[in-house]
Amino acid sequence: MTGKRYRDEVIEPYVRLFRGAYGYDVLFMDDNARLHQAKLVDELLESEGHERIPWLAKSPDLNPIENVWNYLGRALACRHPPLRTANALKMALLEEWSLIPQTVVYNVIASIETRCDVCVQVRGDRIPY
């Protein structure tokens, strides 16, 4: 994906929709992926007054959504026959998202303190999962 596609296919349709639903008191968080830091993405977010959470270079990923993506990825990998189209993937993701057990959500939330402690112990280096 390029910065232009990220802006056009993610930021413009979804971030605007989210902000429209929740108002201007939200913070936007992304990481240091090149496409997230593209000048045209920065310009769009800045022009619309989106407040970003700063993300340090090479910072450990403590974002709990990564655990949820991992869960979804494993669920999709178990599907037979394998997904063949983008639309099939979208539908499968929506279905699997709705089937995530609440215990998975609670466990992800409960893990944040421990993961932060481990991050401090390894002095910001990669966290062993």
Residue 59 · residue 116 · CB < 8 Å? no
Give the tens place of pLDDT for each residue, 99-113. 999 999 999 888 888
Give the tens place of pLDDT for each residue, 2-26. 999 999 998 888 888 888 888 777 7
3-state secondary structure 64-110: CHHHHHHHHHHHHHCCCCCCCCHHHHHHHHHHHHHCCCHHHHHHHHH
State yes or no: pLDDT of 64 exceeds 70: yes
With bands split at pLDDT 50, 70 and 90, how would you rate the model's confidence at 128? low
User: What is the rounded average pLDDT for all residues in the chain?
Assistant: 85
71: amino acid identity, one letter:
Y
Q: How far apart are CA 128 and CA 55, in angstroms?
A: 20
Q: How far apart are CA 95 and CA 67, in angstroms?
A: 17
Would you state the structure tokens that stand for residue 35, as one six-digit string?
Answer: 């496409």
Q: How confident is the model at residue 129, as a pLDDT?
A: 61
